[in-house]
Amino acid sequence: MNAALVKELYEEINSLPIVDIHTHVNWKTGTARNIGEILSYHYYTELTNSARYDGEPLPLDDPRELTRLIYPKLELIRNTVQYDWLMTISREFLDIAPEEWEIDDNWEAIFDRSVEVMDRADWAEELTAQADIVRVFLTNQYDEDLEGLDTGFYSPCLRTEPFVLWMDRPAERAGLQRFLGKEIRTVADVRAVIVQAFQKFVRHGMGYAAMSIPANFVTGFVSDEDAQRLLDKAIAGTPWDAADRRAWGMFAVNRICDACRNFGRPYHLMIGVSRDVYRQGVPMGQDLFDSVNSMSGYDYILNTYSDVRFPTAILSDTSGLELTAAGWIRHNVYPSGHWWYANQPTEIARELRRRLDSVPGNKTIGYFSDAYYLDFILPKFRMFKFELAVALAERMERSLIHPNMEPFSFAEAMLLAEDLLINNPMDIIALDADED
């Protein structure tokens, strides 16, 4: 590693504003109100639960008490990149030095000081300005209140699990019926509720539709007649078996793709999560993934909806080259960021090089933060930007002696960085398109 060059590149890359195409930020609040909310992020609750398990339920509604409980376990995760994110928040936003976190029983002082800063009237704006965040894409349920959303900053994105994965749940159907304003009895009703959700989201500057999907999901054609039978069965209260669930998934994904096509919106696929597999896990810390995951199940929609754009994130390292190859030849697959368990330096470094070397330069979406508070966007993007600086510095140095390459300049490196971080995400999601 050429430290001087990496540093120079990093600093230049870091001066780019942040476009964050996938977060779970609550747009009504934006930032955390205290360090306890920061520590409630599942990375900290799950890592400390894993480091020293005590089986006690976490007081997620009492940030002060949560801080008291988690604080002494934090020393066990000091080696992790997630701890580094926390230190960046502490150092950069709260002006609390990392050493203060190493003092025994210092949690209360830290908590109180965090409140001082985070309680400031314009704190969300201050933080956003300090981190130079210019656009944030959200994760929203169809029935979420979007009135008053600042569409110049936030873009809502529609989660499609309710339509695709949960239609057999009475409570889920009840919610959809409330939203639609009529009973859901036919596949036409399902179409209608999807259209209504897209219409609502488009009115608020919709980013895209999205779904996190279990490993080995399969897409394909299912007729309206077959889908109606499944819907009837669900309404009658007869449990779906695995084949039913699979068939409904195929049908409903196609209906979401129809809507993406009709409304000109991308469908962001997040592939490979195994939900609720760790029973003693903290809330949101019970999911893992499966290394056995074929992306061949997506062939049908990728071919059939050739005019829909599919930014795609993967959870397993074993899907990395498969996604690179898809981004390389499929015109409508866009490798997107580094998700969750793959969101650490080892995986980022590998996937980034693969994508830089063989996916067309206009097709890769560099990064998204997946953050629950705006506070996390800066440290997470920094982690990626540093890996990007390392990869680009390496490319510059290799180019000087590589027999197939012309010298790759600093300016060219920065153009590539800008494409990954700003131009590609904006072009691929193409917010302007639906305003035409």
Minimal distance, residue 397 CB to a second copy, in Å: 6
Answer yes or no: are the C-beta atoms of 271 and 293 closer than 8 Å.
yes
Binding mask 71-110 for a second copy (x = CB under 8 A): -----xxxxxxx-xx-xx---------x------------
Question: Residue 20, interface with a second copy (CB under 8 A)?
Answer: no
Q: Which is nearer to a second copy, 82 or 369 (CB)?
A: 82
Question: Residue 356, interface with a second copy (CB under 8 A)?
Answer: yes
Question: Residue 6, interface with a second copy (CB under 8 A)?
Answer: yes
Q: Which residues contact 307 (CB under 8 A, 6 or more apart)?
A: 261, 332
Question: Residue 264, interface with a second copy (CB under 8 A)?
Answer: no
Question: Residue 433, interface with a second copy (CB under 8 A)?
Answer: no
Q: What is the rounded distance in angstroms from the CA atom of residue 32 to the CA atom of residue 22?
A: 18
Q: What is the rounded distance in angstroms from the CA atom of residue 233 to the CA atom of residue 239?
A: 8
Return the range that interacts with a second copy (CB under 8 A); candidates 110-118, 193-201, 229-237, 289-297: 289-297
Site for a second copy in 57-76 (CB under 8 A): 76
**CA dihedral (412, 417, 420, 422) positive or negative:** negative
Minimal distance, residue 170 CB to a second copy, in Å: 27
Question: Residue 350, interface with a second copy (CB under 8 A)?
Answer: yes
Minimal distance, residue 351 CB to a second copy, in Å: 9
C-alpha torsion angle, residues 250, 253, 257, 258 (rounded to 10): 70
Closest CA to 322 of 289, 362, 360, 354: 354
Site for a second copy in 26-55 (CB under 8 A): 46-53
Question: Residue 429, interface with a second copy (CB under 8 A)?
Answer: no
Near a second copy by CB under 8 A: residue from 44, 71, 123, 386? 386
Answer yes or no: are the C-beta atoms of 77 and 47 closer than 8 Å.
yes
Q: Which is nearer to a second copy, 186 or 344 (CB)?
A: 344
Return the range that interacts with a second copy (CB under 8 A); candidates 117-125, 175-183, 291-299, 365-373: 291-299
Near a second copy by CB under 8 A: residue from 345, 418, 426, 430? 345
Using alpha carbons, list the distances in angstroms from residue 341 to 81, 135, 286, 317, 433.
Answer: 12, 24, 13, 9, 33
Site for a second copy in 392-411 (CB under 8 A): 394, 397-398, 400-406
Near a second copy by CB under 8 A: residue from 126, 317, 418, 427? 317
Minimal distance, residue 385 CB to a second copy, in Å: 8
Question: Residue 279, interface with a second copy (CB under 8 A)?
Answer: yes
Question: Residue 332, interface with a second copy (CB under 8 A)?
Answer: yes
Question: Residue 373, interface with a second copy (CB under 8 A)?
Answer: no
Question: Residue 130, interface with a second copy (CB under 8 A)?
Answer: no
Question: Residue 293, interface with a second copy (CB under 8 A)?
Answer: yes
Q: Which is nearer to a second copy, 172 or 299 (CB)?
A: 299
Question: Residue 375, interface with a second copy (CB under 8 A)?
Answer: no
Task: Output the six-digit token pair for 207.
Answer: 């980013």
Question: Residue 7, interface with a second copy (CB under 8 A)?
Answer: yes
Question: Residue 320, interface with a second copy (CB under 8 A)?
Answer: yes
Near a second copy by CB under 8 A: residue from 306, 409, 433, 434? 306
Near a second copy by CB under 8 A: residue from 127, 383, 396, 417? 383
Return the range that interacts with a second copy (CB under 8 A); candidates 20-28, 109-117, 204-212, 301-309: 301-309
Question: Residue 221, interface with a second copy (CB under 8 A)?
Answer: no
